Structure 1
Amino acid sequence: MLPSDVQDSPIVELAAWLATDPGRHALAWEQARLDEAVSDVFGFHAMQAGLAELDALRANRMPFKGYVAGAMPSEPQRARWNAFVVADPEALPFDAQSLDLLVLPHALECSDDPHQVLREAERVLIPEGRLVITGFNPWSLWGAGRLLGRRRSFLPPGIQPLSPARIKDWLKLLSFEVEGGRFGIYAPACRSEKWLRRYAFMERAGERWWPVCGGLYVVSAVKRTVGMRLIGPAWKKQKAPRRAAVATAREVHPLRAGRGPTR
């Protein structure tokens, strides 16, 4: 990808949108959910693909944390990761089955080929490796403008929001098993922090009454390998030892032996 293409890419437009009031509101929710999703994922190699405004691996305890994107993160952001790679998520420069955890924050909706991004994720993850995806929900108050064909969308331009149901179908075809998901941000499309705070009461109501209509979602999936099963030590069932018959001497009473009383 050329530098001019990077400047005009959807991920850059998304980064600019995250600097606005609704963007910071979304960023705070997404960071908290990512902390929950990756905190208990164990292994050796974790990788975040794009969107350096998020520290997606902050709560993870793996020894190696890397970052891959079409451009290098800024100097203050580089302290979050051990290494950096300039590459597109459609062609990850990693060996097959080399990562334990891969986080794709908005990578699918910012890509021209989201299927290829998922195929690459399946390739580089080890069996039982974890994939975490975040994105905007088109079936929400935040995504309603795009669905209604409005010229000025509330969401950043250039992105193509994908529904969680579609993503789950794609993951299933690639032998991923979805193990968790979370929706959030039920407030209307407000462009100021003041009005977003006023609609804070809708968060609890939305989680209870219309949970699948949140403006953002996080999906967590595990890569399964067909036909693979864990093999333990070949324990052999030991036969119970036979008990030997033991003769015991006992005193026989004359009356019990059939003898009469002696005179």
Structure 2
Amino acid sequence: MDKAGSEQSIIALEGWLQTPAGVYMRAWEQTCLDNLTVDIFGYNAVQIGLPQIDALAANRMPNKWLVDRKVRPENIVPSVLPAPTGQPETVIELPAAPALRPVSLTCDFTELPFASHSLDLVVLPHVLEFSTDPHQVLREVERVLIPEGQVIICGFNPTSLWGARHVLRRVGGASFLPPTESLITMPRMRDWLKLLNMGASHSHLGCYAPACRTEKWLQRYAFMDNAGPRWWPFFGGVYVIQAIKRVKGMHLIGPAWAKKSATAPAVVPATNKRREQQDG
């Protein structure tokens, strides 16, 4: 996918996020991200892309930034979306768009404008699957993270009902997810992180409902969100992976507490030793 195609996919993703399925996904991811980031401490945290989700809302670091590819007018999101492929040319009315947070800075995600080893937390919500060079984006994230810094990645799960519907579009089916050719499986993402010395510590899957376009049908399948984690845990529509940057040869050193010996030997004066020898 070239750069122009990537930009079109991102625009399509922004429109898709306003559909009932997109609202359903954003609600689950917001809850999951809040639970993961609330107990991550440090000084500097960055969210890269997707301002429709406030990935750092629950985090308590003093410095939090939103990085995006472009400056966005606040509260302006397309209110209509073209009809799916293969259906009559109509438009779908979308719910009111959420207020967008102001972008702190704009840049190319493959060249992050941060010093090496300067960030405690980086969140990538649906960035890698819409990037022309996801490996370079991850390398940049590894560069800017401090040792033991953390990264959280959100992605669409290819091995799910949503992923299957996405694949079927190639044989004439209607497209459900935004157009992208690089859906990344969770095991593959773990391998990429491992190669960069970032070990995955936690993973979560959600959105087990089928690929439904209307809120009515999504509500009918709401029971699957309770049954899915127990009966088919690896088939959630989206996943969230949390990983920690490991630096080989580095160990955290605590305070050097003075230790006392468990048993102190009794010291016998030299004069007493000579006297015992004479008496013996």
TM over 0.5, shorter chain: yes
- Secondary structure at the residue paired with 1:109? helix
Aligned to 2:164: 144
1:69, CA displacement in angstroms?
Answer: 1.2
Quick one: structure 1 residues 96 and 178, their matched pair in 2 at CA, closer, same or farther if it must change by over 3 Å?
same
Q: In 2, are the aligned partners of 1:6 and 1:71 still within 8 Å (CA)?
A: no
Q: Normalising by structure 2, report the TM-score.
A: 0.80
Aligned to 2:52: 53
Counterpart pick for 2:146 among 126, 131, 145: 126
Q: In 1, are the aligned partners of 2:51 and 2:100 still within 8 Å (CA)?
A: no
Query: How far apart, in 2, do the equivalents of 1:101 and 1:211 lie?
Result: 27
1:12, CA displacement in angstroms?
Answer: 2.0
- Secondary structure at the residue paired with 1:48? strand
Amino acid at match of 1:229: H
1:150, CA displacement in angstroms?
Answer: 3.7
Quick one: structure 1 residues 150 and 59, their matched pair in 2 at CA, closer, same or farther if it must change by over 3 Å?
farther
Aligned to 2:239: 217
Aligned to 2:122: 102
Task: Encode CA deviations 1:104-138: one digit per residue, 9 max, x unaligned.
Answer: 00010010111111111100000010100001001
1:167, CA displacement in angstroms?
Answer: 0.2
Aligned to 1:13: 12
Query: How far apart, in 1, do the equivalents of 2:29 and 2:254 lie?
Result: 39
> Sequence identity, in percent?
51
Q: In 1, are the aligned partners of 2:74 and 2:101 still within 8 Å (CA)?
A: no
Task: Encode CA deviations 1:82-114: one digit per residue, 9 max, x unaligned.
Answer: x61111211111110111000000010010111
Structural RMSD (CA): 2.3
1:9, CA displacement in angstroms?
Answer: 3.4
Query: How far apart, in 2, do the equivalents of 1:92 and 1:147 lie?
Result: 32
Task: Encode CA deviations 1:140-167: one digit per residue, 9 max, x unaligned.
Answer: 1011023333443210113621111100
Aligned to 2:61: 62
Aligned to 2:222: 200
Counterpart pick for 2:250 among 221, 228, 248: 228
- Give ranges in structure 2 of 5+ residues lacking alignment: 76-97, 269-280
Amino acid at match of 2:217: W
Task: Encode CA deviations 1:44-92: one digit per residue, 9 max, x unaligned.
Answer: 00000000000000000000110111112432589856x6111121111
Query: How far apart, in 2, do the equivalents of 1:112 and 1:159 lie?
Result: 10
- Give ranges in structure 1 of 5+ residues lacking alignment: 246-263
Deviates more, 1:146-155 or 1:37-46: 146-155
